[in-house]
Amino acid sequence: MHNPYIVNFDTRQLPHDTSQLIVIGSGIAGLYTAYCASKKGYRVLLLTKHTMVDSNTDKAQGGIAAVLGDNDSPELHYQDTLLAGAGLCDRDAVRILVNEGPQRVKELIELGARFDRVNGRLALTREGAHSRRRILHAHGDATGAEIQRALTHVVRNDPHITVLENHTAVDLLVRENTCYGVLGMSNESKQLVAFYGAAVVLATGGLGQIYKHSTNPAVATGDGIALAYRAGAEVMDMEFIQFHPTVLSLPGAPPFLISEAVRGEGAYLRNRYGDRFMPRYHSLGELAPRDVVVRAILSEMASTASEKVFLDLSHLPSDLVRERFPNISRTCAGYGLDITRDPIPVAPAAHYMMGGIKTNYYGQTSVCRLYACGETACLGVHGANRLASNSLLDGLVFGYRIVQCCRKELAEGAHGRPEFVFDRLQPPDSTINYQQIRQELQTLMGQYVGPVRTESGLQKALDHFKQMDYVGRYAIDEEQAAEVLNMLLVGQLVAQAALLRTESRGGHYRQDYPQPQDIWRKHIILRRC
């Protein structure tokens, strides 16, 4: 059993602050939700673990999908999303995404996001499993950074929004299934603070850092999911983790995403012998759904005794490649690769979490006055395998819907400030090596809970988590310890759900159950006892 808190505290002795809405996270979901609430005149407190730009959004390259071009329709976008989702998409959620998405993207443009254009019109590209060119991009391959820039500027200059950087959300203040606020900690002073609000929004992003090889920034440690689970909220689809097929694989180089848009513009995947292999695995070739491409790459790596495959752009016009992918070009050039002629060595890495905190169509969780949106949330919009470039759209659409839903709560203001006391944990133990635990966890997850899973491997992972239970007996006193406890918890949830699902579907592949089963066209929901 997991404790509801990871620190001992007494709110009667803590400094406190009160806002109408508390938002945790500063990626697209958190920033846009804060903006939407402020636009309605509500006071917003936004907490972020490091700086405002430390987010998955800032790292996103490919773009944001929305029906804004000719020869396209929400129905086509809907069908593409369902196909990628491998039978587990919530159809109503997808219809909301594709129909409301274009208006949210237009608002993003009005807020100052500058997407690439050709002759004054939005330049749209195509990515894997999309039937039309509907991906907006910025500065070639720096879409997320442009969105982050625009929204950060808006939020920083909004008098209704208070931003606290370098603050860790330690736990949620929940009583009788109602959320009253957040227990926060300054990363600098280590001071605990009780933040009270009429509603709390978790927009903390993904959990990629539970894997050694990940495209996610260091802050993506599954914090929101862990906070919600400890507070008694339901989580769903935790077994479905998307591994990006093409991440730079060079000795000594950190993982660097090679955007799906590279294949969208016509790049080929080749094995170590130069053979183009994707047409042998799927009729869409390099534009097959990501889970298909990942398993094809792993198969080629195994059959050719190689730790990588290669992306080949040499047949594409060199000017087009440099103009379309300036960031990728510069990064690869720093390692001596000219992507217009040199094949790019790539391998899969953890990228996106389809599962997360279970919500309805308005971001409501199973805990009253607690909401979630973006990658940390799950309402089935991505099913078992997210369609490329739907993630940024997800954050916009459902962040907006949260504010529409909780207006009555926000207008009423904070609904009381009950006292919270928790003292069951042993004092912090300075002998615990949290960095070592983190590294061991990352290795374990890659070995047993990665793109290919088996019952025996998943059981080994769960046995490891059981052995690590002792860590949760000690109170945390700094950010790294909080992150490691969160990582252990969400890693265990992923392994537990993966063991329960005895089939293969989308981002979840069981070598011992390699086929999808109709009986498993359902969701696994987990909740703390």
Tell which residue, 499, 493, 490, has the closest CA to residue 460.
499
**Residue 1 pLDDT > 70:** no
pLDDT tens digits, 400-453:
999 999 998 888 877 778 999 999 999 999 999 999 999 999 999 999 999 999
pLDDT tens digits, 457-490:
999 999 999 999 999 999 999 999 999 999 999 9
Tell which residue, 362, 357, 353, has the closest CA to residue 526.
357
pLDDT at residue 289, rounded to an integer? 83
SS3 of 54, please?
coil
Q: How far is CA 442 from CA 55, 232, 337, 498, in A?
A: 20, 26, 29, 17
The Cα 504–Cα 517 span in angstroms is 8
pLDDT at residue 441, rounded to an integer? 98
The Cα 468–Cα 269 span in angstroms is 40
Domains of the chain, start order: 9-63+141-240+354-412 (3.50.50.60), 247-348 (3.90.700.10)
Distance of CA 191 to the CA centre of its chain: 28
Mean pLDDT estimate for the chain? 95
pLDDT tens digits, 104-118:
999 999 999 999 999
Q: Which residues contact 522 (CB under 8 A, 6 or more apart)?
A: none
If one counts every other C-beta atom within 10 angstroms of the C-beta of residue 71, the result is: 8
Q: How far is CA 367 from CA 274, 295, 402, 448, in A?
A: 53, 37, 14, 32
SS3 of 276, please?
strand
pLDDT tens digits, 310-331:
999 999 999 999 999 999 999 9
Confidence tier at 309 by pLDDT (50, 70, 90): very high
**Residue 398 pLDDT > 90:** yes
Torsion of CA 367, 373, 375, 376, to 10 degrees: -20
Confidence tier at 140 by pLDDT (50, 70, 90): confident
**DSSP assignment letter at 62:** S
pTM score: 0.94
**Residue 18 pLDDT > 80:** yes
pLDDT at residue 291, rounded to an integer? 85
386 given a catalytic annotation: no
Q: What does the block give as tokens for 22?
A: 């508390």
The Cα 245–Cα 220 span in angstroms is 19
> Which single residue is written with the structure tokens 């807020």?
111
Contact (CB, 8 A) for 221 and 486: yes
Contact (CB, 8 A) for 243 and 290: yes
User: Strand pairing of 268-270 and 241-248?
Assistant: unpaired
Q: What does the block give as tokens for 376?
A: 């940390």
> Which single residue is written with the structure tokens 């909301």?
96
**Residue 503 pLDDT > 80:** yes
pLDDT at residue 298, rounded to an integer? 93
Write down the catalytic residue from 43, 104, 290, 510: 290
Contact (CB, 8 A) for 357 and 378: yes
The three state secondary structure string of 41-52 is: CCCEEEECCCCC
Q: How far is CA 393 from CA 106, 225, 261, 399, 418, in A?
A: 11, 20, 16, 10, 37
Q: What is the DSSP string of 423-464?
A: --SBPP-TT--HHHHHHHHHHHHHHHSSSSB-HHHHHHHHHH
pLDDT at residue 110, rounded to an integer? 97
pLDDT at residue 172, rounded to an integer? 98
The Cα 150–Cα 115 span in angstroms is 11
> Which single residue is written with the structure tokens 């592949």?
509
If one counts every other C-beta atom within 10 angstroms of the C-beta of residue 517, the result is: 12
- Looking at the DSSP bridge assignments, the partners of residue 157 are none
pLDDT at residue 479, rounded to an integer? 97
Q: Residue 173: what residue type?
A: L
